[in-house]
Structure 1
Protein backbone atom coordinates (compact mmCIF):
# COMPACT_ATOMS: atom_id res chain seq x y z
CA UNK A 1 0.00 0.00 0.00
CA UNK A 2 2.85 2.37 0.74
CA UNK A 3 4.13 1.89 -2.81
CA UNK A 4 0.70 2.86 -4.22
CA UNK A 5 0.49 5.95 -2.00
CA UNK A 6 3.96 7.04 -3.07
CA UNK A 7 3.02 6.54 -6.74
CA UNK A 8 -0.12 8.66 -6.28
CA UNK A 9 1.92 11.46 -4.73
CA UNK A 10 4.66 11.33 -7.40
CA UNK A 11 2.09 11.40 -10.24
CA UNK A 12 0.37 14.36 -8.59
CA UNK A 13 -2.91 12.40 -8.66
CA UNK A 14 -4.11 14.05 -5.52
CA UNK A 15 -3.50 17.10 -3.43
CA UNK A 16 -4.01 17.35 0.31
CA UNK A 17 -6.07 20.38 1.30
CA UNK A 18 -7.77 21.48 4.48
CA UNK A 19 -11.43 20.54 4.82
CA UNK A 20 -13.90 23.45 5.02
CA UNK A 21 -15.74 23.72 8.35
CA UNK A 22 -19.19 22.97 6.90
CA UNK A 23 -18.14 19.78 5.04
CA UNK A 24 -17.78 16.14 6.08
CA UNK A 25 -15.07 13.81 4.92
CA UNK A 26 -15.84 10.97 2.52
CA UNK A 27 -14.51 7.61 3.57
CA UNK A 28 -12.22 5.51 1.45
CA UNK A 29 -11.13 1.90 1.30
CA UNK A 30 -8.42 -0.19 -0.27
CA UNK A 31 -9.39 -2.56 -3.08
CA UNK A 32 -6.96 -5.40 -3.74
CA UNK A 33 -6.76 -7.43 -6.93
CA UNK A 34 -4.45 -10.10 -8.30
CA UNK A 35 -3.52 -9.78 -11.99
CA UNK A 36 -2.83 -13.04 -13.82
CA UNK A 37 -0.83 -13.80 -16.96
CA UNK A 38 -2.40 -15.69 -19.87
CA UNK A 39 -0.99 -18.98 -18.58
CA UNK A 40 -2.60 -18.52 -15.15
CA UNK A 41 0.44 -17.51 -13.12
CA UNK A 42 0.35 -14.40 -10.97
CA UNK A 43 1.68 -11.33 -12.76
CA UNK A 44 1.31 -8.77 -9.95
CA UNK A 45 -0.78 -7.67 -6.99
CA UNK A 46 -2.64 -4.38 -7.40
CA UNK A 47 -4.00 -2.06 -4.75
CA UNK A 48 -6.30 0.93 -5.32
CA UNK A 49 -7.58 3.53 -2.92
CA UNK A 50 -11.21 4.31 -3.78
CA UNK A 51 -13.84 6.61 -2.30
CA UNK A 52 -16.87 5.04 -0.68
CA UNK A 53 -19.35 6.17 -3.34
CA UNK A 54 -22.40 5.35 -1.25
CA UNK A 55 -21.57 8.15 1.20
CA UNK A 56 -21.47 10.85 -1.50
CA UNK A 57 -24.41 13.08 -2.37
CA UNK A 58 -24.88 14.48 -5.88
CA UNK A 59 -24.72 18.26 -5.92
CA UNK A 60 -22.90 18.33 -2.60
CA UNK A 61 -19.83 16.13 -3.03
CA UNK A 62 -19.83 16.02 -6.83
CA UNK A 63 -21.73 17.73 -9.61
CA UNK A 64 -21.55 15.39 -12.58
CA UNK A 65 -19.78 12.33 -13.83
CA UNK A 66 -18.77 11.80 -17.41
CA UNK A 67 -16.72 8.97 -18.72
CA UNK A 68 -16.42 8.79 -22.50
CA UNK A 69 -16.26 5.22 -23.75
CA UNK A 70 -15.71 4.19 -27.35
CA UNK A 71 -17.00 0.75 -28.25
CA UNK A 72 -15.29 -1.08 -31.07
CA UNK A 73 -18.63 -1.42 -32.90
CA UNK A 74 -19.07 2.37 -32.85
CA UNK A 75 -15.60 2.89 -34.28
CA UNK A 76 -16.25 0.24 -36.93
CA UNK A 77 -19.51 1.94 -37.94
CA UNK A 78 -17.78 5.31 -38.18
CA UNK A 79 -15.06 3.85 -40.42
CA UNK A 80 -17.65 2.17 -42.66
CA UNK A 81 -19.61 5.41 -43.08
CA UNK A 82 -16.38 7.30 -43.84
CA UNK A 83 -15.34 4.68 -46.40
CA UNK A 84 -18.73 4.80 -48.16
CA UNK A 85 -18.62 8.59 -48.51
Structure 2
Protein backbone atom coordinates (compact mmCIF):
# COMPACT_ATOMS: atom_id res chain seq x y z
CA UNK A 1 0.00 0.00 0.00
CA UNK A 2 1.32 3.41 -0.86
CA UNK A 3 1.86 5.67 2.13
CA UNK A 4 -0.21 8.46 0.56
CA UNK A 5 -3.17 6.07 0.19
CA UNK A 6 -3.28 5.48 3.95
CA UNK A 7 -4.90 8.89 4.48
CA UNK A 8 -7.67 8.07 1.98
CA UNK A 9 -8.29 4.63 3.52
CA UNK A 10 -8.48 6.19 7.00
CA UNK A 11 -11.06 8.72 5.76
CA UNK A 12 -13.10 5.91 4.16
CA UNK A 13 -13.04 3.91 7.41
CA UNK A 14 -14.11 6.99 9.39
CA UNK A 15 -16.99 7.59 6.93
CA UNK A 16 -18.16 3.97 7.27
CA UNK A 17 -18.02 4.08 11.07
CA UNK A 18 -19.88 7.41 11.25
CA UNK A 19 -22.54 6.05 8.88
CA UNK A 20 -22.97 2.95 11.05
CA UNK A 21 -23.30 5.05 14.19
CA UNK A 22 -25.68 7.62 12.61
CA UNK A 23 -28.03 4.85 11.43
CA UNK A 24 -28.07 3.15 14.85
CA UNK A 25 -26.98 -0.10 13.23
CA UNK A 26 -25.90 -1.64 16.50
CA UNK A 27 -26.08 -1.25 20.25
CA UNK A 28 -22.98 -1.78 22.38
CA UNK A 29 -23.81 -4.36 25.06
CA UNK A 30 -22.31 -7.10 27.18
CA UNK A 31 -22.36 -10.58 25.67
CA UNK A 32 -25.09 -12.67 27.37
CA UNK A 33 -24.17 -16.00 28.95
CA UNK A 34 -24.28 -18.83 26.40
CA UNK A 35 -24.07 -16.51 23.35
CA UNK A 36 -21.14 -16.20 21.00
CA UNK A 37 -20.06 -13.12 19.13
CA UNK A 38 -19.31 -13.35 15.42
CA UNK A 39 -16.21 -11.72 14.02
CA UNK A 40 -16.13 -8.93 11.50
CA UNK A 41 -13.93 -7.98 8.59
CA UNK A 42 -13.09 -4.79 6.70
CA UNK A 43 -13.52 -4.94 2.91
CA UNK A 44 -11.38 -2.44 1.00
CA UNK A 45 -12.07 -1.55 -2.64
CA UNK A 46 -10.91 1.19 -4.98
CA UNK A 47 -13.61 2.52 -7.30
CA UNK A 48 -12.02 3.45 -10.63
CA UNK A 49 -12.98 6.00 -13.28
CA UNK A 50 -13.28 5.00 -16.92
CA UNK A 51 -9.74 6.26 -17.64
CA UNK A 52 -8.16 4.09 -14.92
CA UNK A 53 -7.65 6.73 -12.24
CA UNK A 54 -8.99 6.25 -8.72
CA UNK A 55 -12.45 7.75 -8.20
CA UNK A 56 -12.82 6.91 -4.51
CA UNK A 57 -11.81 4.52 -1.78
CA UNK A 58 -14.69 2.36 -0.53
CA UNK A 59 -14.69 0.50 2.78
CA UNK A 60 -17.34 -1.82 4.25
CA UNK A 61 -17.50 -3.48 7.64
CA UNK A 62 -19.12 -6.90 7.30
CA UNK A 63 -20.00 -9.55 9.85
CA UNK A 64 -18.71 -13.09 9.37
CA UNK A 65 -22.18 -14.61 9.10
CA UNK A 66 -20.84 -17.78 7.51
CA UNK A 67 -20.00 -18.97 11.03
CA UNK A 68 -23.72 -19.20 11.91
CA UNK A 69 -25.58 -22.50 11.87
CA UNK A 70 -28.97 -22.71 10.11
CA UNK A 71 -31.84 -23.55 12.45
CA UNK A 72 -29.77 -22.57 15.48
CA UNK A 73 -28.44 -19.05 14.84
CA UNK A 74 -30.90 -18.05 12.09
CA UNK A 75 -34.05 -19.30 10.39
CA UNK A 76 -34.51 -17.18 7.25
CA UNK A 77 -32.26 -16.20 4.36
CA UNK A 78 -32.43 -12.93 2.44
CA UNK A 79 -30.96 -12.12 -0.96
CA UNK A 80 -29.03 -8.85 -0.87
CA UNK A 81 -28.96 -8.44 -4.65
CA UNK A 82 -31.56 -8.57 -7.39
CA UNK A 83 -31.63 -11.48 -9.79
CA UNK A 84 -30.60 -10.70 -13.37
CA UNK A 85 -34.06 -11.83 -14.56
CA UNK A 86 -35.67 -9.19 -12.28
CA UNK A 87 -33.38 -6.50 -13.66
CA UNK A 88 -34.19 -7.53 -17.24
CA UNK A 89 -37.92 -7.46 -16.47
CA UNK A 90 -37.70 -3.92 -15.07
CA UNK A 91 -35.72 -2.70 -18.09
CA UNK A 92 -38.25 -4.35 -20.43
CA UNK A 93 -41.17 -2.67 -18.65
CA UNK A 94 -39.40 0.69 -18.81
CA UNK A 95 -38.89 0.20 -22.54
CA UNK A 96 -42.52 -0.86 -23.16
CA UNK A 97 -44.01 2.03 -21.17
CA UNK A 98 -41.43 4.57 -22.39
CA UNK A 99 -40.10 5.25 -18.88
CA UNK A 100 -36.79 6.86 -17.99
CA UNK A 101 -34.28 4.86 -15.95
CA UNK A 102 -31.83 6.61 -13.62
CA UNK A 103 -28.75 5.00 -12.14
CA UNK A 104 -27.84 5.88 -8.57
CA UNK A 105 -24.77 5.10 -6.51
CA UNK A 106 -25.80 4.99 -2.87
CA UNK A 107 -23.17 5.57 -0.26
CA UNK A 108 -25.07 3.67 2.40
CA UNK A 109 -28.14 1.53 1.86
CA UNK A 110 -29.84 -0.38 4.63
CA UNK A 111 -32.02 -2.83 2.76
CA UNK A 112 -32.33 -5.48 5.44
CA UNK A 113 -35.53 -6.14 7.35
CA UNK A 114 -35.66 -6.11 11.14
CA UNK A 115 -34.11 -9.27 12.55
CA UNK A 116 -36.07 -11.58 14.83
CA UNK A 117 -32.87 -13.15 16.19
CA UNK A 118 -30.25 -11.53 18.38
CA UNK A 119 -26.91 -11.27 16.56
CA UNK A 120 -23.75 -10.37 18.45
CA UNK A 121 -20.61 -9.11 16.72
CA UNK A 122 -17.16 -8.48 18.09
CA UNK A 123 -16.12 -4.84 18.00
CA UNK A 124 -13.95 -3.89 15.01
Asked if Structure 1 and Structure 2 have the same fold, meaning a TM-score greater than 0.5 normalized by the shorter chain, the answer is: yes
Which one of 16, 21, 33 corresponds to residue 9 of structure 1? Answer: 21
Q: Distance in 2 between matches of 1:73 and 1:54?
A: 30
More strand by share: 1
Structure 1 residue ranges, 4+ long, deviating more than 3 angstroms after superposition:
none
Which one of 51, 74, 77 corresponds to residue 62 of structure 1? Answer: 74
| Pairing 1:45-84 to 2, within 5 Å after superposition | 45-67=57-79, 69=82, 71-75=86-90, 76=92
Q: Distance in 2 between matches of 1:17 and 1:62?
A: 20
Larger Rg, first or second structure (1 or 2)? 1
Q: Distance in 1 between matches of 2:33 and 2:67?
A: 18
Aligned residues: CA RMSD: 2.4
Q: Distance in 2 between matches of 1:59 and 1:16?
A: 26
Q: Distance in 2 between matches of 1:60 and 1:5?
A: 29
TM-score (norm 1): 0.72
TM-score (norm 2): 0.53
Q: Distance in 1 between matches of 2:29 and 2:70?
A: 21
